[in-house]
Structure formats: structure tokens, C-alpha cells
Amino acid sequence: MVVHTLRGASLLLAGTVLGMASACSVVSPNNSSEAKPATNYTSTKSAEPAKADGGAKIAIDPNGPADTVRVFYKHLREKKFREAIFLTNLRPAVEGLTEAELAEFAVDFEALAGQIPADVQINGEIVSGDQATVTANLPDPDEDGKNSIQEIKLKRSGDVWIIQTVDETAAAKIKKDGKAYLYNLRIETHEEEAKKMLERISKAQLAHSLQNGGVFTDMATLITSGLLPEDITSSASTGYRYSIKVDENKISYFATATPETYGRSGRLSFLLQLDGKGISHVTSKDTRGQPMKK
């Protein structure tokens, strides 16, 4: 796959729409061509090395690969999510969604809109037949708050260019699953994040116990201490409800993660507990939306 996650992006789009850009070097300068893309030649456009004001840009042909990328990010920033996704090979996943169904993904989509620069700086374009690569200055997935030159792959379909957010195998699955693809993807992503959150709880409890004579504590204290994020108290961003139960002597605890809406935000329930040696383990089970029991 050509997808590449953006740290801190929405859970859903982390693996899809804005995750498509993979880090690469700037396109090397070459003789530019102003001709329209055709199936029997290669053209290259590149900018000068980035300047202090954010970098140079190329001349953008209307409806060409670079223009498609520009419009895509413009739609995302303006929260025109359906229009944006229609420019990618994720289109079959949203074509069948009603406006009400699309609104269910509002939290997932809108978390990303604010990360899009007001002016996405496109630095290069290479067209080879029906394939194209556009390089742009985008938020770096490995460096929070920083940008880097990344590449976006496109493929021509008729008279339009389609951004390739996933490979051909995944694209075929999206076409087959239709709107169910986004729902299934959200569930898988939420389940993965729920497990990671329980692992984070484990580390937070360990840090607290080392600083407080070996005792564990409740969720509120871990949040106040800065060991857990405040959004753990809400299912809005993760689709899961979290709970921590500490025993009376505070030398043991267990934690659970349960889907907010079974079958929509997640299917698996998770349990974090300590073994006889005090080592934490996370297990999961489909409990039809009920918390796992210790």
C-alpha cells in the first residue's frame, strides 16, 4: 500500500485519505513540459529548492495531476469530505452513503481538516502515461508540527486523474464492500486504538506506582497527573468507554475498554489485568458490547 499514517490525525483517515502521502525527496530539476498528459510520453515539472517562505511552486495545469491534488486538499480543509474523497480511489466507499450516514464520520473527518495548510505547496509533478506523481509540502507523519516534501500517486481514468490512496488489491475490496468499507475500517481502527489506550493505562499506572510507593490509582488522578489524556473520559474520538478499577489496598487494578456502540464503533471488548508477577496483559473478546470481566 502507498498509505502512510499521519500522527494525531483522525482515527479513520489515519489509514486512508490523508495517510496516502509517503515521505520522499524533492523531485530533481529537469526540463519542464507544458503539454497535457498523454499515454505515450513522460513529462516532469519541478520547483527550485524550498525557500524560507515555505518553498517554490510549479505551474499547475487545470485538471492535471497537481491540480487534482490541490483541489483535494482544498476540499478537505473546507470540510467538503464527499467531494474530496470523490477525487480518490476511495470513492466507492462514500458513493452509497446518505448525508446522515456521512455525518456519522464527522468526528473522524473533522479532526483532520484543521491540519491542512491554507495553501498546500505543490513542488513537483511527473507524468508517465496514465501514471503520475505529485510532490507537495505536507505535515510530516513522523514529526508533529513539521512539514516535509511528500509524494502522492495518481492514475488517469478517462479525462480525470484519481488519487491512489490504496493499492489495487485494497481498491478492489473497497469497490466490492461499498459503504461497508468505511464502517469496517472504523471498527478495526477503533479496536486497535482501544488496545493501545489500555497499554498506555498500564504504563501510566506503572509510572504512578514508582512515584507513590507502589500503589495504583484511579483514572481521574492519572489524568490530573498528566499520565493519561483527558479524552479518555469520552468515547467521541475513540468509540470506546474506558474504566479502571483499583482494589482496596491499591496494589492491584484492572481496566476495561468497551465499544460505545456495539457493531458500529467496535465489536471487541478489552481487558487489562495483572498476572501473579505483576505484569500487565491485554486480552479481547466479542462480548456483544458488554465489558469483559476479570
- Residue 38: what pLDDT? 40
- Residue 89: what pLDDT? 92
- pTM, whole model, 2 decimals? 0.68
- Residue 48: what pLDDT? 53
- Residue 186: what pLDDT? 87
**pLDDT (tens place) for every residue of the chain, 294 residues total:** 223 322 223 333 433 444 454 333 333 333 333 334 344 456 777 765 444 344 447 788 899 999 999 999 999 889 998 999 999 999 999 999 999 998 888 776 776 777 777 788 899 999 999 999 999 988 776 666 677 888 899 999 999 999 998 888 988 999 999 999 888 888 998 999 999 999 999 999 999 999 999 999 999 999 999 999 999 999 987 899 999 999 999 999 999 999 999 999 999 999 999 999 999 999 999 999 999 998
- Residue 165: what pLDDT? 87
Cα–Cα dist 133/124, whole Å: 8
Query: What DSSP line would sit under the chain, residue for residue?
Result: ------TTS-TTGGGSGGGG-EE-PPPPP-----SPP-TT-EEEEEPPSP-TTS-------TTSHHHHHHHHHHHHHTT-HHHHHTTBTTHHHHHT--HHHHHTTHHHHHHHHTTS-SS-EEEEEEEETTEEEEEEEEE-TTSTT-EEEEEEEEEEETTEEEE-SS-HHHHHHHHHHTTHHHHHHHHHHHHHHHHHHHHHHHHHHHHHHHHTTT----HHHHHHTTSS-GGGG-STTTSEEEEEEE-TTSS-EEEEEEESSBTTTBS-EEEEEE-TTS-EEEEEE--TTPPPP-
